Amino acid sequence: MRRELGIARCGLACCLCSENTKCHGCNSEECPDNDLCENKKCSIKKKLTHCYMCSENCKKGLLSKIKPYAFTLFIKRYGKDKLLNCLEKNEKNGIVYHREGINGDYDDFDDVEKLIEFILTGKR
């Protein structure tokens, strides 16, 4: 885990991303989707650094996917440090963020609350 990379604007965990050796985050202007990212455009327009800072319950852009949406809700409820702590603990216990391509253990959910519980406990 590279904790210093933190969480992307949309809630994805840059700190665990297998692409983090060549990606420098949302604000680096290096992202191939830089000009297309709906979450980046929206958060910049609202003068927010992350979607979790917004009071709206939004599902635009990447927030239409369960993992970034759940991570964003988790931070709204428990804070960013709690998410990072849980992700770090889970990684040490063998939970994998990217197992095949960009899919891993956090992608096997279709219920946001079950994913949030998994993040908290590391158990299905």
Dist. CA 73–CA 70, nearest whole Å = 5
Taken as a whole, the chain contains a residue count of: 124
- Tell me, what's the pLDDT at 25? 74
Per-residue pLDDT of the chain (124 residues; tens, 9 = 90+): 888 888 999 999 988 987 767 777 777 777 767 778 899 999 999 999 999 999 998 999 999 999 999 999 999 999 999 999 999 999 999 999 988 778 899 998 999 999 999 999 999 8
Name 69's bridge partners.
Answer: none
How is residue 100 annotated by DSSP? Answer: B
Q: What predicted TM-score, i.e. pTM, was given to this entire model? A: 0.91
Map out the domains of the chain as residue ranges.
3-121
- Write the DSSP symbol of residue 103: B
Straight-line distance from the first to the last Cα atom of the chain, in angstroms, rounded to the nearest whole number? 22
Rounded distance between C-alpha atoms, residue 72 and residue 102, angstroms: 18
User: Which residues face 103 on adjacent strands?
Assistant: 100
